[in-house]
Amino acid sequence: MKDYVIGLDLGGTNIRAAAVTREGEILHRVKIPTEVPKGRKRVIANILKVIETIRQELKGFKLSAIGMGIPGIIFFDKGIVAQSPNFPDWIDFNLGERMSKDLDVPFYIDNDANLAAVGEGWIGAGKDFNSFCMFTLGTGVGGGIVLNKNIWRGEYGMAGELGHITIYPDGHLCNCGNRGCLEQYASATGIVRMAKEKSQIPRPTIVSAPKSQITANTIYQSAKKGDTYSLEIFQKMGRILGIGIADIVNILNIELFIIGGGVADAWDYFAPSTIEEIGKRTYRVTGERVKVIKAKLGDDAGIFGAAYVAINELS
């Protein structure tokens, strides 16, 4: 009987999942609401429902393993959610153990940004490279470091927190406790904050909406129309991303940087500043060879990464 694995992406709004073959082919997809406000039991019941729905759909196939990505601090080896921004009451929660009560197949969890990098490395923008870093620019900034085809999780799973590279020593306070983290400037949240701060300066701009209505998308739409005020915000954001990348280049001599997440849609407005900044802050011999490219798998990167981790643990 042909087998498959399930890759799950546990988001704050939706649980997205797919049945994936060892070759990376998607057999079936399911998406249902996570229902976070209804509590932990309901979220777990929903995860199990997704798995059961896929099993029912693929009765002629054998489910071999399951992988799932979750935002936050995840201890892969132990299956523990140490802390997750989407699930505030999941503190040191042994989700792996909890799920194994109801499942007869191995169940693995990892940080969602790590898994996005794994997915891009498997069948996406990083597939022809041994080593690369991926930045996921969304509400926050996630990171993943792939070294010699393996995700680098660090000593206990905390590696790849690229969003918390310090850019400004006395900058904006970050949720992690540090000040001036890259995430505070290169995420959708950071872009909105910079726009609101900047709008103290009276000057003509297309971003004329009341401050409370400014979103990353309105700034993006204004940039598209050539609004210099919005373009400057993306240039600043791009520069900050470039500083972070240059630091990594200087430490690890990595050539490929993959940029994903919703903010990557504004590529044309921030990427030139990113590339310029990398050139300024690295040795010529390394900086010249750096490639900064867009992610290819979109929202599916995490699902493919979760599936790949499940497959990898089987072999």
Span from 125-133, 134-142, 161-169, 221-229 in contact with Zn ion (CB under 5 A): 161-169
Span from 43-51, 167-175, 232-240, 299-307 in contact with Zn ion (CB under 5 A): 167-175
- Least Å distance, CB 198 to Zn ion, is 21
Question: 248 and 143 in contact (C-beta within 8 Å)?
Answer: no
Which amino acid would we find at residue 270?
F
- Least Å distance, CB 248 to Zn ion, is 16
Alpha-helical runs (H) found in 31-175: 40-57, 95-100, 112-123
- Which of positions 88-117 make contact with Zn ion (CB under 5 A)? none
Nearer to Zn ion among residue 4 and residue 185 (C-beta): 185
CB count within 10 Å of CB 290 equals 21
Which amino acid would we find at residue 230?
S
Closest C-alpha among 136, 161, 134, 5 to residue 74:
161
- Least Å distance, CB 34 to Zn ion, is 25
Q: Report DSSP letters for 34-64, one per residue.
A: --GGG-HHHHHHHHHHHHHHHHHHTTTSEEE
Nearer to Zn ion among residue 119 and residue 140 (C-beta): 140
Going by the DSSP 8-state scheme, the letter that residue 244 receives in this structure is: H
Nearer to Zn ion among residue 69 and residue 143 (C-beta): 143
Nearer to Zn ion among residue 181 and residue 216 (C-beta): 181
- Least Å distance, CB 1 to Zn ion, is 47
Q: How far is CA 282 from CA 1, 56, 207, 231, 268, in A?
A: 52, 53, 35, 25, 22
Nearer to Zn ion among residue 164 and residue 239 (C-beta): 164
CB count within 10 Å of CB 24 equals 15
Nearer to Zn ion among residue 119 and residue 244 (C-beta): 244
The C-alpha angle 296, 21, 154, rounded to 5 degrees, equals 60
- Least Å distance, CB 166 to Zn ion, is 8
- Least Å distance, CB 171 to Zn ion, is 10
Nearer to Zn ion among residue 69 and residue 140 (C-beta): 140
Span from 81-89, 158-166, 271-279, 291-299 in contact with Zn ion (CB under 5 A): 158-166
Contact map string, positions 171 to 190, toward Zn ion, x by CB under 5 A: ---x-x-x--x---------
Going by the DSSP 8-state scheme, the letter that residue 11 receives in this structure is: -
Please give the residue ranges that form the binding site for Zn ion (CB under 5 A). Answer: 164, 174, 176, 178, 181
